[in-house]
A = this chain, B = another copy of it.
Amino acid sequence: MKVVDLYAENGFSEEKFRTFLVHDSPYFKILNFNFKAGQELPIHSHDIEGQVCIAVLEGEGEFLGEKGASIPAKTGSVLIANIAEPHGIRAKTDMRVLVTIAPPI
């Protein structure tokens, strides 16, 4: 059992969104991404089995999907997608998200 304080462990950078590996196990991989306003995780996909969950802890922005789809995202918004489906995030304000991938990749 371990407890991690994401606010203490991960900050923000003007250069690129900051990634913090929270946990990696045979069951899932958990990451925290912090975006400054305007930063993004470009839309992408991996041709493998599994699903990804992206939960917004703080801030506002949009989830990106295929064919230019944009879905508003804010604190408490949760995206679930197959890893093989195109997905991404763009931050409108500074934004903290928690990403869970199962099985881990």
Contacts and interface: CB of A to CB of B under 8 A. Distances in A.
What is the size category of the interface that chain A forms with chain B? 35 or more
Identical chains in the assembly = 2
A73 to B, nearest CB: 7
A94 interface: no
For the residues of A in contact with B, the DSSP-based class is strand
Contacts of A5: 74, 76-78
A1 B85 contact: yes
B75 A30 contact: no
Contacts of A76: 5-8, 57-58, 96
A95 to B, nearest CB: 13
Contacts of A53: 23, 28, 30, 100
